[in-house]
Amino acid sequence: MRRLIERGEVSATELVTAHLDRIAERNPALNAIVTLVPERALAEAARADKIASAGRREGALPPLHGLPVVIKDTHQTAGIRTTFGSRVHADWVPDADELIVARIRAAGAIVVGKSNVPEFGAGSHTFNSVFGTTLNPHDLTRSAGGSSGGAAASVAAGLVPLADGSDMGGSLRNPASFCGVAGMRPTPGRVPAVPAGLPFSTLTTQGPIARGIADLALLLSVIAGPDERCPISLADPGEAFASPGPPAGPVRVAVAVDFDGAVGVDAEVAEGLRPAIEAAKRLGWQVEEACPDLAGAEEAFRTLRALQFATGLGEDYDRHPSLFKASLADNIERGRRLTPAAIGTAERLRGEVYLRAVEFFGSYDVLICPAAQVVPFPASHEYPPTVAGSPVTDYLGWMQAAYWITMMGCPALSLPSGYTTGRGGAAGLPVGAQLVGRPRGDLDLLGIALALEEALPPRRWPAWPPAEPGA
């Protein structure tokens, strides 16, 4: 699309109009985009066309010139409602864009609306009391994942080519797996968060969602790069990630389907990882079963997550306790009960997990494991009732494969791998392989993912209208 615009074969107005038509056709069933600004988007497209016609030459236009995007509804957008999926902020319209949005717009992208999220981005199933539930474009009875579920569903259904998101315990990787697109959690500090209530925290990162790795890298190249207002931001310029190259030599691959038996994984997920693993073998890469030592990751994540929610949402909760879903209220209350000793222990454990990750990636270039432990579950549930036949006791109890990786401090992405066969219920649902790279090795990880993507069988995009469940 970007090349067509640069050559003058398609205008930004035509491109935005085509996507608005697709949104009108498909979004009512999906509920992926919850605030739409078509008049503003078309006005910006018209200005983009004037800029293009005034001086079109190769490399003269910004990297996302004329491309329509949606912004996650937890990211502040000037002049566009930002609700965080909560009735507390249902009518808030910010005065300024936050940094990730400002960078996307400065790169020439045109914001067409906001993508749906769970309440305050809490949970890997996208539903809230303001807008309702986002559905999976592969099966309208199933969850699109979360918390970037509206973003992933929008990209998978062709409503937009690119979307932004954020990830604490899988919020970019889980919905990408559920919807059959690519989603990346970059190294903390790779995409600076400004403003940020806890600017030194590395728990939550912002990142890109796209239909494939090349597009993922394109968006990362725009949103990455240092900013002195973010104390953990990394120095590498964003442009460094625009065109990842192939791996320099033989790739050493570790495979941990169930983390040495430490987590439950549905059989359909394990089977869905097989195409990615077999593709790595066909490429001649060294593939073996190996799992990093993640002892302490569970305690560290649950403690630090509760602390972050209690700190960031405590004031809203005290003012409007009745407007918070029970699971989020419980997490805030747990954060308030934490002792200094518990917080200190969590920080120590996280540090130990990171150091063991550094050692692990001295022997391997990439880890392949599940992005989600279950296939997309019925959208009527808050979370899946079971994983691999065992009951799930709370709304975090099915996400260890994602949030344990968060504790490693490494870049990770979900790459579409296989599809369900129907043995566990529905057939044709996507399964994502989570690829984890060495600390700060975002560019190498993108190169490995690109090579693996090219070796995988062709992708299946959602039919429209979707087939009847079980058909």
pLDDT tens digits, one per residue of 317-367: 999 999 999 999 999 999 999 999 999 999 999 999 999 999 999 999 999
Express each pLDDT in 35-55 by its tens digit: 999 999 999 999 999 999 886
Beta bridge partners of 286: 252
Could you give the residue numbers annotated as active site? 72, 147, 171
Domain map (residue ranges) of the chain: 2-455
> How far apart are the C-alpha atoms of 81 and 462, rounded to whole Å?
29
pLDDT value of residue 58:
58
The pair of three-digit structure tokens given for residue 214, joined into one six-digit string? 């090349």
> Measured between alpha carbons, how far apart are the two ends of the chain, in Å?
34
pLDDT at 278: 98
Interatomic CA distance for residues 73 and 324, integer angstroms: 17
Tell me, what's the pLDDT at 408?
98
Is residue 256 within 8 Å of residue 287, measured between CB atoms?
no
pLDDT in tens, the chain (471 residues): 999 999 999 999 999 999 999 999 999 999 999 999 999 999 999 999 999 988 666 568 999 999 999 999 999 999 999 999 999 999 999 999 999 999 999 999 999 999 999 999 999 999 999 999 999 999 999 999 999 999 999 999 999 999 999 999 999 999 999 999 999 999 999 999 999 999 999 999 999 999 999 999 999 999 999 999 999 999 999 999 999 999 988 899 999 999 999 999 999 999 999 999 999 999 999 999 999 999 999 999 999 999 999 999 999 999 999 999 999 999 999 999 999 999 999 999 999 999 999 999 999 999 999 999 999 999 999 999 999 999 999 989 999 999 999 999 999 999 999 999 987 678 999 999 999 999 999 999 999 999 999 999 999 999 998 766 554
Q: Cβ contacts of residue 133 below 8 Å, gap of 6+?
A: 31, 125, 126, 127, 379
pTM reported for the whole predicted model: 0.97
pLDDT at residue 10, as a whole number: 97
Token pair for residue 204?
Answer: 């939550």
DSSP-derived letter for residue 121 is: G
Task: Answer whether CATH 3.90.1300.10 is correct for domain 2-455.
Answer: yes
